Amino acid sequence: MLEICQLQQLLSVAEYGTLSAAAEAIHLSQPSLSRSMKKIEEDLRVTLFDRQKNKITLNENGQLAVECARKVLDQLQQMESQVRSFDRSRRTILVGSCAPAPLWTIIPALSDLYPDMTISSELRDSEVLLRGLREGIYQLIVLPCQMEEPDLSCVKYEEEHLFFSLPPAHPLSGCSALHLSDMNGETMLLRNRLGFWNSVTGGKMADTRFLVQEDFAFNELVKSSALPCFTSDLAIRREGTPPNRVNIPILDEEANVTYYCLYRPEEQQDLSGFFQSLRSEA
């Protein structure tokens, strides 16, 4: 029976053109590689090479054998990848989210409910999340809208409402509510890795200069600077309100979102504890 190493050696001969070049590339002696090629021919009971003095070349049988060997090795690689991914999925819950805020509560909840599992998370666009959920990459995803998909289950998670966080001396700090366009053209601090929220400030704040900061730098600058920034009810609940800041709700529809958890029905049993906790909170 053919061995995997023999197929790999056959591909090397096809790639490098000569036994000597292939043997050097794969760190094998030329006589050993020559014996391996003869063994493949014996196992297949066909001739794969046209042999001349100091030279062998693949014949038509050999070219077909190379094509088949490449497919076999590709399938072997796919099998290894799929089996490892399956094993990892049995020990890992990967959550994909469109925004950071839902992960602040989902990840600790899953860690408490499933202490023997590894809980990981990613921020991705909605299309990437949906495709990854269907392909089994994610066990759970969070989107900023309800989805009616025949092959997926969808359950409401929580809401998030965006605020402008202004210093008391700002001209608009006395307003009871604002629109995104009211702050257009200003210079604002902006936290990085906001997921879909990055697109919310596009059209209505096209003239705004955003100074994007990492989490730690952002928090320190919010405390010490007079620049406006965004916050949300979920961020306030998690981090509190920084001193000398006035938080003003944003009225635009796109600044107020409801998050939904999506999952494949076959994952429901594995995640039953999480969904039971959702129903309890509701």
Among the listed residues 143, 144, 138, the one whose alpha carbon sits nearest the alpha carbon of residue 121 = 138
Q: Taking a C-beta distance cutoff of 8 angstroms, is the pair 252, 204 a contact? A: yes
Name the helix (H) or strand (E) containing 56.
Answer: strand 55-58
Using DSSP's 3-state secondary structure scheme, residue 46 falls into coil
pLDDT in tens, 49-73: 998 877 888 999 999 999 999 999 9
Place of tokens 């210093």: 167
Confidence of residue 89 (pLDDT cuts 50, 70, 90): low
What would the mean pLDDT of 122-133 be, rounded to a whole number?
A: 94
pLDDT at 276: 81
Q: What is the largest CA-CA distance in the chain?
A: 94
Rounded to whole angstroms, the Cα distance separating 207 from 185 reads 5
Tokens representing residue 51 in the block: 């042999």
Is pLDDT at 116 greater than 90 in this prediction?
A: no
pLDDT of residue 127: 93
Q: Name the one residue in this structure whose structure tokens are 């043997």.
A: 23
pLDDT at 237: 93
Give 213-227 as a DSSP string.
E-HHHHHHHHHH---
pLDDT, position 201: 74
Six-digit token pair at 39? 């063994």
pTM: 0.68
Note whether 161 and 249 are within 8 A (CB).
yes
Which pLDDT value is given to residue 51?
87
Q: Which DSSP letter does residue 47 get?
A: -
The mean pLDDT of the chain is: 90
Q: What percent of the chain has pLDDT over 70?
A: 96
Contact at 8 Å (CB) between 225 and 151?
Answer: no
Q: What are phi and psi of 115, to 5 degrees?
A: -65, -20
In a 3-state reduction of DSSP, which class is residue 232?
A: strand
Closest by CA to 126, choosing from 107, 164, 165, 98, is 98
Q: What are the pLDDT digits (tens) for 12-23?
A: 999 998 888 999
Q: What is the pLDDT of residues 167-206, one digit of tens each?
A: 999 999 999 999 999 999 999 999 988 999 988 876 789 8
d(CA 251, CA 167): 19
User: With 80 as the cut, is the pLDDT of residue 230 above it?
Assistant: yes
Contact present, 49 and 58 (Cβ < 8 Å)? yes
The CA distances from residue 26 to 5, 6, 33, 69, in Å, are 11, 12, 10, 17
Contact 186, 268 (CB under 8 A): no
